[in-house]
Structure 1
């Protein structure tokens, strides 16, 4: 009977180990698959640790959607957000940039299954305030020229001598403080950028996602 009991224990251990191995193999092979509902995939541009439940709770309190939405953890610092309506999804995308604890949330529309290794979330629309603009420049032309250096203009607004420009900001690049412009290829003027709803960034290197004290020399 003792030998029989030993055999049973060994079988249980083998079964337990096999279950763990199967789980690990299953996890490695998973793809991020969109829901039938309108779905966003998002991540938080930060190196700090945080509680995913606190992120979910804050978004539920901040986003004023007409219908309910669901947030699911899809991996480390990776979430799927499923909406009941396309209108609510568009509302959240239009309201960008969104912040969580002073860190930028990056979004993209998920329309087909994709491997986690292929997911690339590295940009977000942000507003720049530019001005006061000198009378030497046509404001529309100036906004277009500045927008081109960011990859294009999403939206622009002109109010007196001040202008606002919505561009797609690459979070992997340092923040630009401004740009030199010229009207006659001789005289140059410096135009500074003021970023609205600016997330946590480093004054030392200009990069998003960390403060100066987090920089390692």
Structure 2
């Protein structure tokens, strides 16, 4: 894992990471390799030293096609996560990074307390085992809190809310009770950023359709649409 200073040095190269990867892929495509030419090194994934270096890893992706300062990204994310110990970054693409926390508590905060924003763009995170090729790991989900407004108390039941939000994403957490000062229920979902947001839900009772507004908390720009 590169040190923060190494990561900043790598970031100064702009598109150098992508160019180097493309050149290497082109080089191997031109080789006519036979099986006998390989002298494979077999890695023991249970090796304690390897396990230590692969602890508390994540992959992060800034959900934008625009260029940005990687140094500013490191600074802003450290401020947002407020870790108790150091967090290291290594760029693997212009907007994709290997991130390593130094303790479980900091890693869990990074992974569980989002959504995270950088310049109002979504920062998507997923666990990383340290062994897989980073380009083969899909980073498409974003945990977000949503609110269903004006939902009557009789409908504030787990099974009903699950049906209402079946298209919103994987349900992670519900807070159906205790909202004595507000008129909504809060639900945390794992949203697929390739899919549109759920803007409303509806219930048919006594042949009458009742429509309830869905709002999102601390949501960033993604899918080229600004949402609240």
In structure 2, stretches of 5+ residues that fail to align are 1-19, 29-49
TM-score between the two structures when normalised by the length of structure 1: 0.73
Verify the 8 A CA contact 1:153 1:167 in the aligned structure 2: yes
**Structure label with greater radius of gyration:** 1
Q: Is the 8 A contact 1:137 1:183 kept in 2?
A: no
Aligned partner of 1:14 in structure 2 is: none
Partner of 2:24: 25
How many aligned residue pairs are there? 181
> What per-residue deviation string (whole Å, max 9, x for no partner) do you get for residues 59-82 of structure 1?
122221111111111222110111
Q: Provide runs of 4+ in structure 1 moved above 6 Å.
A: 26-29
Per-residue CA shift, 1:76-96, capped at 9, x if unaligned?
211011111112100111211
CA distance in 1, matches of 2:157, 2:131: 43
Check whether the contact 1:47–1:209 (CA below 8 A) recurs between aligned residues: no
Instruction: Provide the residue aligned with 1:12 in structure 2.
Output: none
Partner of 2:145: 127
Q: Contact 1:104 / 1:209 at 8 angstroms: preserved in 2?
A: no
1:136/1:183 contact within 8 Å kept: no
Q: State the distance in 2 between where 1:182 and 1:143 align.
A: 14
Asked whether the 8 Å contact 1:42–1:106 carries over to 2, the reply is yes
Q: Corresponding residue for 2:220? A: 199
Give the match for residue 15 of structure 1.
none
The answer (yes or no) to whether the contact 1:177–1:193 under 8 Å persists in 2 is yes
| Partner SS, residue 78 of structure 2 | helix
**What is the deviation of 1:146?**
2.5
Larger mean Cα displacement after TM superposition, 163-172 or 35-44? 35-44
In the TM superposition, residue 46 of structure 1 has moved relative to its aligned partner by 1.0
Q: Quote the residue 1:210 is aligned against.
A: 224
Tell me the secondary structure at the aligned position of residue 149 of structure 1. coil
Task: Name 2:184's counterpart in structure 1.
Answer: 162
Q: TM-score, structure 2 length as denominator?
A: 0.70
Q: Distance in 2 between matches of 1:189 and 1:124?
A: 29
Once the two structures are overlaid, the 10-residue window that deviates more, 33-42 or 158-167, is: 33-42
Equivalent residue number for residue 99 of structure 2: 81
2:42 pairs with 1:43: no
Gaps spanning 5+ residues in structure 1: where? 1-20, 201-207, 213-217
CA apart distance, 1:110? 0.5
Q: CA RMSD in A?
A: 2.8
Q: Counterpart in 1 of 2:108?
A: 90
Distance change >3 Å, CA 27–CA 59, structure 1 → 2: farther
Inter-partner Cα distance in structure 2 for 1:173 and 1:181: 22
Distance 1:27 1:165 in 2: 47
1:175 correspondence with 2:175: no
State the 1:127 CA deviation.
Answer: 0.3
